[in-house]
A = this chain, B = another copy of it.
């Protein structure tokens, strides 16, 4: 138990201690501390370190652990290390790795190096890796592992147990035996728990759990994740179009898909990549952020352009300049609430033709009611502040207009973007801001121009 707590406190106390030994130039001490950590902990430590410490730490890791550590790392940090390796080092890190993990790393390497690494493998391993590489990374095929324990359905529990005992080790986690015929055609799965409770003379055929369905190799990884979540799966068999067993997907890889998917939504709303290295160096970070700032600057200039149309009105009534950001910003907030709700609902697979109309109507009404309510509040405040009936009326009206437009845009944008195959989490907020700014300034200043001239 104390050991457990230590391992979890890594992120804080142990990280401090390690950094001290590093800063005080005690590499031997650091090496010893690293030896007591799991590959996942070391990977976490590297990901939590600025570039200089990262390079020093990497050199202190035993060569035979490098592959395990790379496997546990995020893509961008991993890229940093594999870029510095020569072909011999790369080949050595692939020894003793799972086929799906090898494929993951190979996909990050230049084509030419991939071929040389594959050449270095023995025939069987090479074939297995190439099989996984043949499928896109974001499908069941890209997620699957080829080490499965298969049995025939005409054997008894006793024979199956004896067969398992002949193995030196079994693939982890082992929650079911996969039943195939002699053509490797998938026949069903027998849960290990049923195997353990059944009478030894029972035929496996009678233990097949028909609720366990195989996953088609082309299924999208996010769908696989939904399936695992809904059915509480630990592993699932993967088959091709003619139902041949190709491998199986395990829950640990699915957990990574779920985490990646969630991070993708959060990060892309801020124009960041989910694999973004927290400790990326200054210049790389500056360059990447600059792109997003540039895109948003276009939005800002469009909004300014709209204001520019009404310079004369503002010149006449300067209070308009004071109040105009309120209308735009309230629209932005209302719209982004709807946008976030709809993006999440889409990710959960809750949106279909049958309920879109209901949702749009609901959002429209919510926008209208909140628009009316806050129009009264803001108008009252404007009246007190500037004692001007026209401005009070104008800001109230434009609040209602902008809030209704904002929630309807927030609700429709993700649907439209998805149908155009554009990522709503990435593009949604920029487009929405453009809409709420333009409509906010246009309705407020436009109405003001009408009423004042």
Interfacial residues, chain A to chain B (CB-CB below 8 A): 1, 3-5, 7-8, 10-12, 15-16, 19, 38, 40-41, 44, 47-50, 72, 161, 164-165, 167-175, 191-193, 196-200, 213-216, 219, 223, 226-232, 234, 239, 243, 251-252, 254-256, 258-259, 261-263, 265-267, 269-272, 276, 278-279, 281-283, 285-286, 289-290, 292-294, 296-297, 299-301, 303-304, 307-308, 311, 314-315, 318-326, 328-330, 333-334, 336-337, 339-341, 343-345, 348-355, 358-359, 362, 365-366, 369-370, 373-374, 377-378, 381, 385, 433, 437
Contacts and interface: CB of A to CB of B under 8 A. Distances in A.
Q: Quick one: copies of this chain in the complex?
A: 2
B297 A330 contact: yes
Given A173-B173, A197-B165, A286-B366, A293 B333 contact: yes
Contacts of A325: 300, 303-304, 307, 325, 328, 437
Name the prevailing secondary structure of the A interface residues.
helix
Contacts of A319: 311
A8 to B, nearest CB: 6
A293 B334 contact: yes
10 contacts: A4-B216, A50-B355, A50-B362, A167-B197, A279-B359, A279-B362, A293-B374, A304-B325, A308-B322, A311-B321
Contact of A175 (B173, B329, B373): B173
A161 B196 contact: yes
A219 B345 contact: no
A366 B289 CA distance: 8
Nearest to A48: B350
Nearest to A305: B322
A340 B4 contact: no
A266 B270 CA distance: 11
